[in-house]
Chains A and B, each alone.
Chain A
Amino acid sequence: AIQMTQSPSSLSASVGDRLTITCRASQGISDDLGWYQQKPGKPPKLLVSDTSRLETGVPSRFSGSRSGTGFTLTISSLQPEDFATYYCLQDSNYPLSFGGGTRVDIK
């Protein structure tokens, strides 16, 4: 099974900061990775699919990229509504697997 190692597990940031969250796959998964945002008490929300395809309605400050088996979600300028937990999900091979999550708190 493919393991997804997500880092950091948590971070504190300020409004306006540039943020980078990383997921590394234990083997190649092409571009078959999505990023999900979850706020407390709510279901996850799909932000990005296929490594870099932004979902309709997701602000352009979010972006995704890949280098080899490493995947990055970048928030260019953190906004108050972005404080949440973020998860990657590899959807290349069964069983599908989530990263451990990155909790983004207000500094």
Chain B
Amino acid sequence: QLVQSGTEVKKPGESLKISCKGSGYSFAGYWIAWVRQMPGKGLELMGIIYPGDSDTRYSPSFQGQVTMSADKSVSTAYLRWSSLEASDSAMYYCAKSKVGTTTVFNYWGQGTLVTVSS
């Protein structure tokens, strides 16, 4: 139900936008979370977005570092960096909220691996 874009290899300073496409449900009506997992580390909640009206809530650590957006016309959420750093190298997951909830995530994308290296 959530299909993410493919592996990315970028250089420091480059921009990047990854995507998460929903299918089989009313995309606009459920929150989408973005979660970072650095190599060998735990899960970090970056923020959530409601595609219906693009209401967005960033976790403080990620505010100003990334931009979340959504286009409900194509049932796709996006995560964008304007200038990547090596420390952005990680697996990024999107996840969909459960029916009737804002912040319980019961469907997850397969993940997008981002590698930033000179």
A36, A91, A98, most chain B CB atoms within 10 A: A91
Binding site secondary structure of chain B: strand
Q: How far is the CA of A96 from the CA of B110 in the complex (A)?
A: 21
B43 within 8 A of A: yes
Besides A34-B104, A87-B42, A91-B104, 18 more A-B contacts (Cβ < 8 Å) are A34-B105, A43-B93, A43-B108, A43-B111, A46-B104, A49-B101, A49-B106, A55-B106, A89-B45, A89-B105, A91-B103, A95-B59, A95-B60, A96-B33, A96-B45, A96-B59, A97-B45, A101-B42
Q: From B48, which residue of chain A is reached at the shortest CB distance?
A: A96
Contact A46 B43 (CB under 8 A): no
The interface size of chain B toward A, counting residues with CB under 8 Å, comes to 25
Q: Which residues of B contact A (CB under 8 A)?
A: 33, 35, 42-45, 47-48, 57-60, 93, 95, 98, 101-106, 108-111
In the complex, 14 of the A-B residue pairs with CB atoms within 8 angstroms, ordered by the A residue number, are: A34-B105, A43-B110, A44-B95, A46-B105, A49-B101, A49-B106, A89-B45, A91-B101, A91-B103, A95-B59, A95-B60, A96-B45, A96-B48, A101-B42
> A residues touching B (Cβ–Cβ < 8 Å)?
1, 32, 34, 36, 38, 43-46, 49-50, 55, 87, 89, 91, 94-101
Instruction: Give chain A's interface secondary structure class.
Output: loop
Verify B42–A98 contact, CB threshold 8 A: yes
Distance, CA A100 to CA B44, complexed state (A): 9
Set of chain A residues within 8 Å of B110, measured between Cβ atoms = 43
Chain B residues, CB < 8 A from A99: 42
- Which residues of chain B are within 8 angstroms of A55 by Cβ–Cβ distance? 106
